[in-house]
Amino acid sequence: QVQLQESGPRLVKPSQTLSLTCTVSGGSISSGDYYWSWIRQPPGKGLEWIGYIYNSGSTYYNPSLKSRVSMSLDTSKNQFSLTLSSVTAADTAVYYCARATRVVILEYWGQGTLVTVSS
């Protein structure tokens, strides 16, 4: 059974960079036709897709966040990561990592981690 777990700082100061890591167990991130994805959910609001990184390292980001987002793979640790720069209070959200097939079939999710942007 594939499992994903997010980790990283829970509190980030405005204008700084948010960094999260997703550790995958039960399968290799470097094999299979999978899109390793990040989704976020502001408190009390809906889901917002952030982007994905494919096992080849190719990426695709939400156009609304593209200028601030970067994703990477660490196959030696079976992890993938998200960085979001120049954060503001509007970036406060629960951040989820997920494994997708055919881009939009988000079949496995992490439990999510709340990241608060505040001074």
Residue 46 lies near another protein (rule: CB under 8 A): yes
> What is the DSSP code (8-state) at residue 24?
E
Q: Do residues 109 and 100 touch, judged by C-beta distance below 8 A? A: no
In angstroms, give the least distance from the CB of 102 to another protein.
6
What is the per-residue DSSP string for 56-117?
A: TS-EEE-TTTTTTEEEEEETTTTEEEEEE-S--GGG-EEEEEEEEETTTEEEEE---EEEEE
104 binds another protein (CB under 8 A): yes
Compare residues 28 and 101 and give the one whose CB is closer to another protein. 101
Q: Which CB atom, from 75 or from 103, has the smaller least distance to another protein? A: 103
- Does position 10 interact with another protein (CB under 8 A)? The reply is no
Q: Are 24 and 78 in contact (CB under 8 A)?
A: yes
Query: For the window 49-88, what string marks contact with another protein as x by the rule CB under 8 A?
Result: x--x-------x-xx-------------------------
| Contact flag: residue 96 with another protein (CB under 8 A) | yes
Does 105 participate in binding another protein (rule CB under 8 A)?
Answer: yes
